[in-house]
Amino acid sequence: MTFILGILNVTPDSFSDGGRFDSVAEAVAEGIRLRDLGADLVDVGGESTRPGAARVSVEEEQARVIPVIRGLVAARVEVSVDTMNSSTALAAADAGASIINDVSGGLADPRMLQVIANTRLTYIASHWRGPSDSDAKYGDVVEDVRNELRYRLAEMAVYGIDPGRVILDPGLGFAKDAEHNWQLLSRLEELETLGQPLLIGASRKRFLSKWGTSPEQRDPATAVISALAAQAGAWGVRVHDVESTRRALEVQAAWKSGIAR
């Protein structure tokens, strides 16, 4: 089974849906809608990681995400929090989040890995060399990403983090150009040699612009990637359009099993 993480950005400046959910009630209603459309988790983020986005204070980030997480947990929606800040991760854990999704893989905040060790929550660690617009220079991008993720796993081990609670994300779009992203997707089996589940986050990103000039127009391409990622054995996909991805995964499962459920 491949899990679907539905994206819920409670930010004014995210590249696709910034500013859509200005109140806690609107954001909680959207998270419930994503769950009802088929999201296994709702991934709540309060800081944009689009190219050129300015960092926000930890206080502002928590003011955005913590009330939403509490509301979703009260509605029995399973929640992950998208944050690079250890104090936000800890506050989200206290509010009932079950997964910490850190696009920096612990590099943006040196206290993050200790929080993960203390809370014993599942940790999604992405490959990261800095913000999305950081310099993208690699030898063999798949080999380099695999090696750098291996180093992150080694540091997690120092903190006593159970590898059974770690999911890796190749960090599509973060210090990577379109060719790098496609190489990573076409060679996922090489990343699987790390022995950890993989999350794929391709939704609406710029490397899909051949199939849509606006972010929403890239949803069909995203759904195809979701199905192919599932076929390749990915643990999960992180998407904006939950419904199209759910349908794509249903078709993929029917293809694989010979039974349409």
DSSP class of residue 198 equals B
Helices (H) and strands (E) in the chain, counts: 9, 8
Burial of 22 (0-12, 13-18, 19+ CB in 10 A): exposed
d(CA 28, CA 116): 25
d(CA 8, CA 88): 16
d(CA 184, CA 143): 9
Q: What are phi and psi of 228, to 5 degrees?
A: -70, -35
Q: Which two tokens stand for residue 92?
A: 């989200």
Q: Where are the beta strands (DSSP E) in 33-114?
A: 41-45, 79-82, 99-102
Residue 57 CB contacts under 8 Å (≥ 6 apart), including other chains: none
Q: Which ranges of 3-57 would DSSP assign to H, the alpha helix?
A: 24-37
d(CA 168, CA 199): 6
Q: Report whether 71 contacts 93 (CB < 8 A).
A: no
Catalytic residues: 205, 238
Q: Which helix H or strand E contains 236, and what residues bound it?
A: strand 236-239
